């Protein structure tokens, strides 16, 4: 994991399938060495290219970069498939271990939430394998509250782990009767996305 931090080289942008290798460089240590994710086999670059492509059909997938190197990412995905759940999303965020505590996860989530609100999403959910104090604290910072605990629901490294579900309803969220289904990320005004990204960049902390 890289630690060559350059305050002036930081950025946040929408991901593309070409970012798959950089995203995997961040994600792979979590798969191999932690219970943050219950995946036990690192996906291939081709698999992650397909995942990014699929997510971007509707949802935002953001990457945080340092001198064009991916050092973190966050995205929204489908919570459940039935039509009545379309206003809900499940969130994921991962940071390179060498770039934590620099406000990057906060910046990624700030941009992600603003874009999701513009799209017309309402309910945000995080599913956290515990213990994971840092992730729980991040979500509480954004107003998430714990709504459920699934005991002994994930098995990795020879142990069962609990998962905590946390929920946040976006302030000022749209009325589905007026807005209809959420708007696909590709149909959102690029200026609105740029404004959300610029707002988030101001949250980066100095080295």
Contacts of 57 (CB under 8 A, 6+ apart): 184, 186
Tokens (6 digits) for 60: 């935002």
Please give the share of the chain, as a percent, with pLDDT higher than 90: 82
DSSP 142-187: TT-EEEEEEEEEEEETTEEEEEEEEEEEPTTPPPHHHH-SPPPGGG
Element (H, E) at 52: helix 45-55
Q: What is the pTM of this model?
A: 0.93
Q: What is the spatial order of strands in the sheet that 145-156 belongs to? A: 10-14, 61-66, 69-78, 88-95, 123-130, 159-169, 145-156
Q: Which has the minimum average pLDDT: 23-27, 77-81, 89-93, 201-205?
A: 201-205
Please tell me the total count of domains within the chain.
1
Residue 207's pLDDT band, with cuts at 50, 70 and 90, is: low
**Tens digits of per-residue pLDDT, 83-132?**
999 999 999 999 998 777 678 999 999 999 999 999 999 999 999 999 99
Residue 2's pLDDT band, with cuts at 50, 70 and 90, is: very low
pLDDT, averaged across the chain: 93
**Tens digits of per-residue pLDDT, 150-176?**
999 999 999 999 999 999 999 888 888
Residue 80's pLDDT band, with cuts at 50, 70 and 90, is: very high
Separation CA 164–CA 23 (nearest Å):
25
Inside any domain, residue 14: yes
Inside any domain, residue 76: yes
Inside any domain, residue 1: no
Inside any domain, residue 31: yes
Q: Does the structure show a pLDDT above 80 at 9?
A: no
Do residues 41 and 31 lie in contact, with contact meaning Cβ atoms separated by under 8 Å? yes
Q: Which has the minimum average pLDDT: 20-34, 35-49, 87-101?
A: 87-101
Q: Does the structure show a pLDDT above 50 at 71?
A: yes
pLDDT of residue 136: 97
Inside any domain, residue 38: yes
Other Cβ atoms less than 10 A from the Cβ of 156: the count is 16
Inside any domain, residue 207: no
Q: Does the structure show a pLDDT above 90 at 204?
A: no
Q: What is the CATH number of the domain that holds 180?
A: 3.40.630.30
Inside any domain, residue 67: yes
Do residues 98 and 130 lie in contact, with contact meaning Cβ atoms separated by under 8 Å? no
b/e string for 33-66 if b means 16 or more Cβ within 10 A?
eebbeeeeeebeeeebbebbeebbebbbbbbbbb
What mean pLDDT comes out for the span 58-71? 95
Domain that holds residue 194: 7-201
Inside any domain, residue 206: no
């Amino acid at each position: 994991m890289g630690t060559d931090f350059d305050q002036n080289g930081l950025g946040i942008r929408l991901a593309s399938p070409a970012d798959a290798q950089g995203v995997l460089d961040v994600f792979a240590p979590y798969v191999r060495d932690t219970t943050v994710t219950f995946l036990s086999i690192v996906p291939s670059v081709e698999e992650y290219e397909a995942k990014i492509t699929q997510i971007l059909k509707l949802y935002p997938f953001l990457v945080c970069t340092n001198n064009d190197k991916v050092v973190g990412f966050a995205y929204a995905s489908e919570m459940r498939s039935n039509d009545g759940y379309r206003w809900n999303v499940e969130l994921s965020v991962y940071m390179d271990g060498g770039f934590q505590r620099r406000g990057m996860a906060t910046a990624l989530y700030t941009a992600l939430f603003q874009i999701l609100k513009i799209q017309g999403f309402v309910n945000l959910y995080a599913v956290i394998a515990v213990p994971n104090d840092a992730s729980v604290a991040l979500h509480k910072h954004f107003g998430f509250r714990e709504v459920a605990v699934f005991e002994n629901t994930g098995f990795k490294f020879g142990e069962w782990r609990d998962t905590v579900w946390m929920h946040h309803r976006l302030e000022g969220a749209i009325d589905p009767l007026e807005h209809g289904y959420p708007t696909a990320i590709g149909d959102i005004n690029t200026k609105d996305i740029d404004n959300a990204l610029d707002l988030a960049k101001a949250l980066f902390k100095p080295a």
